[in-house]
A and B are shown apart, each in its own frame.
Chain A
């Protein structure tokens, strides 16, 4: 019996393909894409201002609300944060990526890659939590800052209205530090991958032609690593845009996109506006991905 089924399957590869494909496609196509579609539909609904009930009629009213100054400000603030985090991560990721790709011996290299990849996959929430401890007013970072007599500098930084706050653990500066920390591995790996592909002969040729090590670095290595930086920035940018855990735990009363979506959807019960605001990061990411593809970033993924 089993062998007859087996023979039948062998003779009908199309049926086998269908049997293999139907379950995952049913799940991802229907459940996941269906949900995204439901979200899209909801962004075209609106909420009745008086009753707070969702009006299920097509309207662009909700999208218009995104352009209210308060909401635009949220978008600008979040995009600014995402850009700052991306730049700092690129700077901090480079030395380690460069070392792994070009200098580390094979065994050490394997270990270093594992060491970078572990925090990329694990303990996201716990790693945010760590900064709650470190940045606390009475915490370890303040202690070090005061040890070096820099308490005044910290107070001055915290007094700047747009980025400051009552303490590091309740301010945009603190959020910026935490974001840069948690997304750093996402920048290291693509840069390392891109650098890995720079042929050693090219670097030797540059040296043979009389370039000093720094010149080689600047004119040969850096341009070839750039697609890796762009690939990494896809993650740092996208992840910062949609995050609400960091703003909720380390931020102050100034909203970020993820946080706004979270509260519109939750306490405010305004699902259409939450849905419309989510489309913001989606559109930004699609545009970003298209630009990144032009810059050759996908080869470095």
Chain B
């Protein structure tokens, strides 16, 4: 669409607009940098600024003296991993069904899948809690996964469906014509084609699950995921400097997969998975 001629005639932005635009980017990232700055404060009881000194000891404390944090981290990784796996399977199946055939109710599938992220998280959370509690199922690791998978499915679905739509159907026909059976066609033709979409969708799903807190507060029993731990510190700060270190780690763990997912999508001009 974009030709070189429109590039050369692209209007120049005024200085004011440039400043406003890049100022907004700074505003988006500034607060995260403040957290990073505060990981070096020696002050335990307040958030005094300017920092009264400089220390790196909280990294050591968080890493070596807090087994509760490690348990929370491992739990969060396990929950995110399994939720992502469920989302990859269900999202791909749904995308394949919507792509390959026209059936009654096809339009409502996208709507149903997007509901968990279109409705406020508290609705999903309390609905699941009511249902799980009503069925007398104990709240556990698995109830957290059930909650997370509901909103992870849609990101995989969107990425994979967008890829299916760009893939030409004749490739599959050619494979079948050349004698491959359905399974071989899936393994050698379809899967390589959707691999990066699966990777992008999976990383987004992982990041979404990893720092989810709203639904988790309703579907967790005694389990403390890392976000639940941070949330408890938000309401009643007890370990301020350690929380800063944990927050920095969470930023890195969620930021990197999303960055790579975005990069993958941008490079293959897919959708990034709809809007949250």
Q: Can you name the residue of chain B whose Cβ is closest to the Cβ of A4?
A: B181
- Contact indicator A130/B120 (Cβ below 8 Å): no
Q: List 18 A-B contacts (CB under 8 A).
A: A17-B100, A24-B113, A28-B153, A32-B112, A36-B123, A38-B130, A92-B24, A106-B2, A117-B258, A122-B254, A125-B227, A126-B32, A126-B230, A134-B34, A244-B122, A244-B214, A262-B217, A281-B120
- Contact indicator A140/B234 (Cβ below 8 Å): no
Q: Can you name the residue of chain B whose Cβ is closest to the Cβ of A185?
A: B28
- B95 CB, min distance to chain A CBs, angstroms: 9
- Contact indicator A103/B13 (Cβ below 8 Å): yes
Q: Can you name the residue of chain A whose Cβ is closest to the Cβ of B213?
A: A125
Which residues from chain B contact A7 at a C-beta distance below 8 Å? 181
- Contact indicator A23/B90 (Cβ below 8 Å): yes
Q: Which of B123-165 contact A (CB under 8 A)?
A: 123-124, 126-134, 146, 149-150, 153
- Tell me what chain A mostly uses at the interface: helix, strand, loop, or mixed: helix
- Contact indicator A123/B32 (Cβ below 8 Å): yes
Interface string of A1-43 (1 = CB under 8 A from B): 0110111011001001100110111011101111110110010
Which residues from chain A contact B38 at a C-beta distance below 8 Å? 133
- Contact indicator B17/A28 (Cβ below 8 Å): no
- A205 CB, min distance to chain B CBs, angstroms: 14
State in angstroms the CA–CA spacing of A117 and B13 once bound together: 22
Which residues from chain A contact B235 at a C-beta distance below 8 Å? 248-249
Interface string of B223-240 (1 = CB under 8 A from A): 000010011011101000
| Contact status of A31 and B31, CB under 8 A, knowing A96-B21, A139-B47 | no
**Which of B7, B17, B49, B211 makes the CB contact (< 8 A) with A99?**
B17
Q: Can you name the residue of chain B whose Cβ is closest to the Cβ of A193?
A: B275
Which residues from chain B contact A271 at a C-beta distance below 8 Å? 130, 133
- Contact indicator A239/B254 (Cβ below 8 Å): no
Q: B48: CB under 8 A from chain A?
A: yes
| Contact status of A133 and B153, CB under 8 A, knowing A95-B17, A99-B17, A114-B266 | no
Which residues from chain A contact B116 at a C-beta distance below 8 Å? 32
Stretch with Cβ within 8 A of A (4 or more), from B64-72, B190-198, B243-251: B243-251
- Contact indicator A120/B276 (Cβ below 8 Å): yes
Which residues from chain B contact A70 at a C-beta distance below 8 Å? none
Which residues from chain B contact A281 at a C-beta distance below 8 Å? 119-120, 122-123
Question: A-side interface residues toward B, CB under 8 Å?
Answer: 2-3, 5-7, 9-10, 13, 16-17, 20-21, 23-25, 27-29, 31-36, 38-39, 42, 92-93, 95-96, 98-100, 102-103, 105-106, 110, 112-134, 136, 138-140, 142-143, 181, 184-186, 188-190, 200, 235, 238-239, 241-245, 248-249, 258, 261-262, 265, 271, 274-275, 278, 281-282, 285, 301
> Which interface residue of A114, A129, A235, A239 has the most chain B CB atoms within 10 A?
A129
State in angstroms the CA–CA spacing of A100 and B103 once bound together: 39
Which residues from chain A contact B42 at a C-beta distance below 8 Å? none
- Contact indicator A27/B115 (Cβ below 8 Å): no
> Which interface residue of A20, A139, A249, A261 has the most chain B CB atoms within 10 A?
A20
Q: Which of B1-24 contact A (CB under 8 A)?
A: 2, 6-7, 9-13, 17-18, 20-21, 24
Q: B259: CB under 8 A from chain A?
A: yes
- Contact indicator A275/B126 (Cβ below 8 Å): yes
- Contact indicator A21/B97 (Cβ below 8 Å): yes
- A2 CB, min distance to chain B CBs, angstroms: 6
- Contact indicator A138/B46 (Cβ below 8 Å): yes
Q: Can you name the residue of chain A whose Cβ is closest to the Cβ of B36?
A: A130
- B104 CB, min distance to chain A CBs, angstroms: 11
State in angstroms the CA–CA spacing of A28 and B117 once bound together: 13
Which residues from chain A contact B266 at a C-beta distance below 8 Å? 110, 113-114
State in angstroms the CA–CA spacing of A170 and B8 once bound together: 51
> Which interface residue of B113, B124, B126, B211 has the most chain A CB atoms within 10 A?
B126
Q: Can you name the residue of chain A whose Cβ is closest to the Cβ of B20?
A: A95
**Which of B89, B131, B182, B255 makes the CB contact (< 8 A) with A35?**
B131
- Contact indicator B275/A301 (Cβ below 8 Å): yes
- Contact indicator B255/A118 (Cβ below 8 Å): yes
Kindly list the 6 A-B residue pairs having the minimum CB-CB distance in the complex, ordered from nearest: A242-B120, A6-B181, A130-B31, A95-B20, A99-B21, A35-B131
> Which interface residue of A121, A124, A241, A249 has the most chain B CB atoms within 10 A?
A121
Which residues from chain B contact A9 at a C-beta distance below 8 Å? 182
- A79 CB, min distance to chain B CBs, angstroms: 13
- Contact indicator B97/A122 (Cβ below 8 Å): no
- Contact indicator B103/A17 (Cβ below 8 Å): yes
- B149 CB, min distance to chain A CBs, angstroms: 7
State in angstroms the CA–CA spacing of A197 and B91 once bound together: 30
Which residues from chain B contact A139 at a C-beta distance below 8 Å? 47-49
| Contact status of A39 and B126, CB under 8 A, knowing A31-B146, A136-B46 | yes
Which residues from chain A contact B207 at a C-beta distance below 8 Å? 121-122
Which residues from chain A contact B9 at a C-beta distance below 8 Å? 200
Which residues from chain B contact A124 at a C-beta distance below 8 Å? 211, 213
State in angstroms the CA–CA spacing of A39 and B97 once bound together: 29
- Contact indicator B122/A261 (Cβ below 8 Å): yes
State in angstroms the CA–CA spacing of A116 and B56 once bound together: 30
